[in-house]
């Protein structure tokens, strides 16, 4: 439910993915090929800090103020290996393009090199200690040289000797105020680019150790810069959230001599920008305003098109006990359970707010031990059991309410004992009869846990089919509790028969990942929402797509397919088998299978700064409401109730720190 600052993105061209860290030390993996789908999240930890992240091939590393370089298991979504710097907290990290080495800059003023050969992570060497901490670092693309930025200076280091071979000194704006070099980059021709606390972006001749050009590019600290793959464009930003572009261009039409010139300024963020990265033809930025911005970087006129992705998970962190009308909210290290309010009034007017006879009541808050981060959670329909998993184990509790219809029900929470250790889970769901918990472990096993006699007993463990199965991000149990649907990041969707403990069927592999799945009311069909905005329906008996699906899969309006917000939740309407209810962060949609699709070229939405209105005739299949933002969860339950959990832009803005103060005309 919380959304921390974006900190440090890093692009992996080989995997076509971007890893982004947050201030709470969590790391998210975004799939560019799935139209920027946030596919994985590695939970943070109170004991771990992330100040920098770095891809090396298919391996992901981070470094932080705990003094460790950490490698992550991208299947189990947890730390895999640690290597201490032995030189204090780490502020920055970079990789060698030609060898399996990483370099870290530390608080104690040391450059520490780590070896990653043979799938390992170990200390390799430490350079000479300098005065003052090292806050930024870059490895020359082809030479055995490292460039570091610190207090009042930039140093060039030889990998072979471990000595500094060049020292570049920066001036101060005030005699007693240090100039901090927050970011550095180096090109193949040994041009060094730096950003500092004076708000200046500087270009240096690394071979001669001389300053080429300095620009007063920002009104405050330049915290980050990024260089494109062709090494002819640089983007900078920081406390002043403007993104400034520089181009390496000929001095004039008839000259071969080139120089770095300031080309454009863009305003995508309201607060500090912590880091930037060029990902193919896009530039990715993130910072304190919690938005991840992806903008198109065109060759001639710079950035033109942009998308903003709010800092919310791609999966719902809200669970609804539909029969008890209770909602459970998942936070970083605690759960909240709320009883919904109710009304006895009805209205035929759309959008009318009905008076509540009772207000929502917070029944309990359950905190994890030692502030361990919650990976996933579940609550059964009657709110008699709830469960969550951290990175070590699954914990199950029984919940009872005395006089639940009173204004303040008495709540009793007891931990359910287990005879055997419960493996940590990535996803979980209670069976519809409420007597068992189905989990997908971090080893991609399916576990069925019985809750008879208030004791947790593992009744079935289905091992992964093969070693290439990736972490599972979607889990759904059929209404009769016989089938389980799993979807992973290799675009596989499998249906398991729990009773027979074997695969019932495997869906055709689609061109992109699924973002939401659910069974229909009788369990005969599976509904799948994909990252390309299409919804498919698959029949489990015939093991093929339904007739409706085949007839409509090529008829989606073009404007619908240009949407970028991913569908978070999907379900069949409780009272109408022809209607599918689903939502993303921006809208609620009811898709009526009995009605025709609008024409492919039909305009669906009217966009403006203040509204997002549907323009579709009511006689067509799409029925859209855009009154919610940001919609974290929406679910239809009994008695024609629709439960919506929203985080409004206003509450999000109010939670942010103040922006950079700027003088305005007349003040």
Nearest to 374 by CA among 392, 359, 362, 352: 392
When pLDDT is averaged across residues 101-105 and rounded to a whole number, the result is 98
Q: Count of alpha carbons within 13 Å of 24, Cβ hemisphere only?
A: 19
Q: Which residue has the higher pLDDT, 655 or 101?
A: 101
**Residue 611 pLDDT greater than 50, yes or no:** no
| pLDDT confidence band for 640 (50 / 70 / 90) | confident
| pLDDT confidence band for 420 (50 / 70 / 90) | confident
Name the E strands within 408-445.
410-415, 417-418, 425-430, 436-441
* Domain boundaries of the chain, sorted by first residue: 6-309, 313-464
For 186, list phi and psi in degrees, rounded to 5. Answer: -140, 135
**What's the pLDDT score for residue 613?**
47
Q: Taking the model in full, what pTM does it have?
A: 0.93
When pLDDT is averaged across residues 95-111 and rounded to a whole number, the result is 96
| pLDDT confidence band for 664 (50 / 70 / 90) | low
Rounded distance between C-alpha atoms, residue 449 and residue 498, angstroms = 12
Nearest to 199 by CA among 231, 175, 170, 176: 170
Name the E strands within 370-424.
376-379, 385-389, 394-402, 410-415, 417-418
Given the candidates 2.130.10.10, 2.60.20.30, 1.10.357.10, 2.40.50.140, the CATH classification of the domain at 313-464 is: 2.130.10.10
Distances, alpha carbon 135 to alpha carbons 155, 165, 207, 359, 633, in Å: 12, 19, 22, 51, 41
Please, are residues 89 and 106 in contact by the beta-carbon 8 Å criterion? Answer: yes
**What's the pLDDT score for residue 632?**
95
The reply to whether 6-309 and 313-464 are identical in fold is yes
When pLDDT is averaged across residues 197-203 and rounded to a whole number, the result is 97
Distances, alpha carbon 474 to alpha carbons 315, 493, 507, 551, 624, in Å: 9, 9, 14, 26, 25
Q: Which CATH class is domain 6-309?
A: mainly beta
């Amino acid at each position: 439910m919380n959304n921390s600052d974006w900190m440090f993105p890093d692009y992996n061209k080989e995997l076509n993915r971007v890893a982004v860290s947050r201030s709470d030390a969590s790391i998210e993996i975004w799939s560019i090929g799935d139209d920027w789908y946030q596919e994985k999240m590695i939970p943070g930890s109170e004991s771990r800090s992330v100040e920098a992240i770095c891809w090396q091939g298919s391996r992901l590393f981070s470094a932080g103020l705990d003094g460790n370089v950490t490698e992550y298991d991208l299947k189990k979504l947890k730390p895999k290996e640690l290597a201490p710097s032995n030189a204090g907290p780490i502020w920055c990290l970079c990789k060698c393009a030609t060898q399996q080495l990483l370099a870290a800059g530390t608080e104690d003023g040391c450059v520490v090199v780590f070896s990653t050969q043979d799938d390992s992570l170990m200390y390799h060497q430490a350079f000479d200690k300098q005065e003052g901490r090292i806050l930024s670092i870059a490895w020359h693309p082809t030479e055995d040289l490292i460039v570091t930025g610190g207090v009042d200076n930039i140093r060039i280091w030889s990998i072979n000797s471990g000595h500094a071979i060049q020292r570049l000194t920066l001036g101060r704006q005030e005699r007693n105020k240090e100039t901090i070099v927050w970011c550095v980059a180096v090109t193949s021709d040994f041009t060094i680019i730096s950003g500092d606390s004076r708000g200046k972006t500087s270009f240096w001749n690394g071979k001669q150790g001389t300053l080429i050009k300095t620009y007063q590019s920002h009104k405050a600290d330049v915290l980050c810069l990024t260089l494109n793959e062709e090494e002819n464009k640089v983007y900078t930003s920081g406390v002043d959230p403007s993104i400034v572009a520089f181009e390496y261009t000929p001095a004039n039409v008839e000259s071969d001599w080139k120089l770095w010139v300031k080309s454009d300024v863009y305003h995508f963020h309201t607060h500090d920008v912590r880091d930037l990265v060029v990902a193919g033809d896009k530039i990715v930025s993130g910072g304190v305003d919690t938005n991840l911005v992806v903008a198109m970087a065109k060759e001639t006129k710079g950035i033109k098109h942009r998308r903003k992705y709010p800092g919310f998970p791609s999966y719902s962190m809200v669970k609804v006990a539909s029969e008890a009308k209770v909602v459970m909210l998942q936070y970083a290290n605690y759960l909240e359970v709320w009883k919904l309010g109710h009304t006895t009034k009805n209205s035929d007017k759309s959008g009318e707010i009905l008076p509540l006879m009772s207000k929502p009541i917070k029944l309990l808050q359950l905190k994890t031990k030692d502030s361990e981060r919650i990976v996933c959670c579940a609550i059964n329909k009657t709110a008699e059991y709830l469960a969550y998993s951290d990175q070590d184990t699954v914990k199950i509790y029984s919940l009872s309410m005395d006089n639940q219809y009173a204004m303040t029900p008495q709540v009793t929470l007891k931990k359910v004992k287990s005879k055997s250790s419960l493996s940590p889970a990535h996803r979980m769901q209670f069976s519809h009869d409420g007597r068992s918990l189905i989990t997908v472990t971090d080893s991609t096993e399916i576990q069925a846990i019985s809750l008879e006699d208030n004791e947790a007993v593992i009744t079935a463990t289905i091992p992964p089919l093969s070693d290439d199965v990736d972490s599972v991000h979607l889990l759904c149990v059929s209404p009769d509790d016989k089938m389980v649907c799993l979807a992973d990041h290799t675009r596989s969707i499998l249906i398991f028969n729990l009773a027979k403990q074997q695969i019932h069927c495997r869906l055709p592999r689609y061109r992109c990942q699924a973002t939401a799945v659910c069974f229909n009311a009788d369990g005969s069909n599976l509904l799948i929402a994909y990252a390309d905005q299409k919804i498919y329906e698959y029949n489990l008996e015939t093991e093929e797509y339904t007739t409706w699906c085949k007839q409509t899969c090529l008829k989606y309006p073009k404007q619908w397919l240009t949407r970028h917000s991913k569908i978070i939740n999907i379900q069949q309407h409780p009272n109408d088998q022809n209607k599918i209810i689903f939502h993303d962060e921006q809208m609620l949609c009811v898709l009526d299978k009995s009605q025709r699709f609008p024409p492919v070229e039909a305009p669906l939405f009217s966009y403006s700064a203040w509204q997002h209105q549907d323009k579709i005739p009511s006689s067509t299949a799409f029925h859209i409401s855009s009154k919610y933002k940001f919609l974290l969860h929406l679910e239809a339950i009994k008695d024609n109730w629709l439960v919506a959990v929203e985080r409004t832009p206003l509450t999000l803005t109010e939670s942010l720190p103040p922006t950079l103060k700027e003088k305005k005309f007349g003040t």
